Structure formats: structure tokens, C-alpha cells
Amino acid sequence: MSGRKVVHERRLRPISGREHMAVFGAAAVVAAVFAWFGTQTNPFTAGADAVCAVAFAAMALAILLKNRARHAGPEGAEPEGAEPEDHEPARGGRGHSAPAGATGAPAAGTDRRESLWPWVGCLGFLVAWELFTYFAGFGGHRDSFPTLSSLYDDAARWHAVKACLFFAWLALGWGLFLR
């Protein structure tokens, strides 16, 4: 023996496209059922708080699992401290050197900042809309200038619409998680 510590770790195999779609479909059905039953609670009650807590706990668990998988590395990766037998340079391929400064990663911070502008724009629009309709509604003209909360209250009178909005909230959270 060479004195290296052998690390035996069981790794899960990557799932295929068909399996991925099945898992995605099952998750969507579970989320839709959760949204349907979750919206039968009254706001600001223990039941509503419990529904939100379940959604947040599921997202926290997903984040923990994603971080664990990210830190475990790809399948077949060398254990920590072990030296790979054959090293390939970044982006250069076997026997070719990579261009100076090419690491395969974008410049620090540029990609993230650029992807934030649509969110900043949407948030700015929503804040401007809320402020405009809030101040325009003074003087007894509140129905002529609805805020987002009053629009939601009108739409949430129907359970199916309320469940769809809650499902959209869950989907938005999942989409942000996948980024």
C-alpha cells in the first residue's frame, strides 16, 4: 500500500431525462395539492402559519441537500487531499494550454449583477404602482385606484384562483432556488 487513505463513498448515479421529468411532474402535483389544501386556511391563523412553515421547511431542506451535493463534488472526483493522476488544463484540453487568464468562470460579479436588473426593475415598478394607487385613492376614490393587495383580495374570493396564486408563489420560490 502506498499509505493513502482509501475513501469509500456511495454516490448516487445521475438521473436520466425521463426520470428528471417524472420527479418534476410528481413535485408539481405535490405542490398543487399542497397549494389547494393550504389555501383553505384563514390568514393570520395557526393553520396558515403552519402551511407557510411547511413550505419554508421544504425549501430549507432542498437548499441543504443542494449544498451537500455541491460540496460532495461530481461522481468520480478525487477524495480531498488525493492527487489526480492526469491533470487537464482549464479549457485547453489534453496537451493544449489554456489562454492566459481563462479559467472557465465569468469575471467576478458581472453575471450576478446583470441578472439582478430585471428583478430590480420589477420591484421598482411594483413599488411605484403601490405608491401611486395608494395616494391616488385618497379622497374616497379607493375603488378607482386598487392596490395590489386589494386586487389580490378580489381575486382570492375564489378558492381555485387563490390556490393558483399560492402555487405560483411556490413555483417562484423553486425557480429562484434553481438559479
Q: What is the tens place of the pLDDT at every residue in 92-102?
A: 444 444 455 55
- CA separation, residue 2 to residues 53, 82, 139 (Å): 51, 12, 84
126 with 171, same domain: the answer is no
26 with 60, same domain: the answer is yes
Q: What is the tens place of the pLDDT at every residue in 152-174?
A: 888 889 999 999 999 998 898 88
29 with 54, same domain: the answer is yes
Q: What is the tens place of the pLDDT at every residue in 17-66?
A: 888 888 889 989 999 999 999 999 988 899 999 998 998 898 889 888 88
105 within a domain of the structure (yes/no): no
23 within a domain of the structure (yes/no): yes
Of the candidates 27, 28, 47, the one whose C-alpha atom is nearest the C-alpha of residue 37 is: 47
Residue-wise burial string across 18-37, b where 16 or more C-beta atoms lie within 10 A, e elsewhere: eeeeeeeeeeeeebbebbbe
